[in-house]
Structure 1
Amino acid sequence: MKNVKVVYVLIYDEINKTVLMVQNENHVWTLPGGAVEQNETLKQAAVRETIEETGLEVEVGNIVAINEAFFPDRGHHAVMITFTANIVGGNLAIHNEEEILQIKWFDLETASKLMPYYKLGIHSLLETSIPYTFQE
């Protein structure tokens, strides 16, 4: 199996208590994110994927979840790292309509139901934080 690193970005609006999500071409809702490219750090990938999927520029924070899964149909062993992020610029927009069908803010309960792979719910991610360091 091929090892694949995937990053996701949790953008939480504290005022409205909502989470930004994207609906992918397979109609599944996720946090903005995607595969890490060669010679790219995890944070660089998170910033790039967020811009590509939402049009928003973000400042990436700490890690709030690490998930792992086997995808035998694709031949992948995936490690998925979820970071927090704050919006620092850009405009919310779909740039690739073939890949992203919708972008929407959801309340925590709905977001948790749409993303059951965070077993303790999205609200639990807001209560945890693991520092991330790229060693140069």
Structure 2
Amino acid sequence: MKRVDVVYAAICKEETDEILMVQNENMIWTLPGGAVEQNETLEQALIREVYEETNLQVEMGTLIDVREKFFEDRNHHALLFTFKVKAYSGEIVVNFPDEIQQIKWMSFEEADQHMTYYLNGIASTLDFDGLYISQ
């Protein structure tokens, strides 16, 4: 199986308890993010993927979730890293309409309906502060 690392960005509006979600070409809602390219750090991938999908510039915050998944149909062994975003700027735009159908701010409750893999919900997951060091 091919090893694939994937990064996701939890971009939140603290004042309204909303999180930014993207709907991909398969009509699945998820956090902005994607695969880490060769010779790219997790941080570089996060910044690139968020910009490609949403047009936002972000500053990576803490690591809040790591999970492992096997995609038998693709022969992939994936490690999925979710990071909280410390700051973001720019205007939200769908840069690649072939990949991203929509971008939407959702309440945590609405986001949880789409992301059932965060067992205690995304709001609880945001409270975790993991350590990520790139050397």
The TM-score normalised by the length of structure 2 is 0.97
What does the per-residue CA deviation read over 1:73-114, in whole Å, with 9 as the maximum and x for residues that have no partner?
000010000001134322100010000000000001111111
Per the alignment, in what secondary structure is the counterpart of residue 123 of structure 1?
A: helix
Measured in 1, the distance between the counterparts of 2:78 and 2:88 equals: 29
Deviation at 1:15, TM superposition (A): 0.4
Contact 1:21-1:104 within 8 A present in 2 as well: yes
Per the alignment, in what secondary structure is the counterpart of residue 39 of structure 1?
A: coil
Cα RMSD for the two superposed structures: 0.8
Structure 2 partner of 1:72? 72
How many residue pairs are counted as aligned between the two chains?
A: 135
Contact 1:6-1:36 within 8 A present in 2 as well: yes
Matches within 5 A, 1:6-25: 6-25=6-25
Structure 1: stretches of 5+ with no match in the other structure: none
What does the per-residue CA deviation read over 1:23-46, in whole Å, with 9 as the maximum and x for residues that have no partner?
000010000000000010001100
Q: Which moved more, 1:29-38 or 1:119-128?
A: 119-128
The TM-score normalised by the length of structure 1 is 0.96
Residue identity over aligned pairs, in percent, reads 50
Measured in 1, the distance between the counterparts of 2:87 and 2:101 equals: 21
**Match of 1:23, as an amino acid?**
Q
Measured in 2, the distance between the counterparts of 1:5 and 1:122 equals: 20
Structure 1 partner of 2:28? 28
What does the per-residue CA deviation read over 1:37-59, in whole Å, with 9 as the maximum and x for residues that have no partner?
00100011000000000000000
Deviation at 1:131, TM superposition (A): 1.8
Structure 2: stretches of 5+ with no match in the other structure: none
Structure 2 partner of 1:95? 95
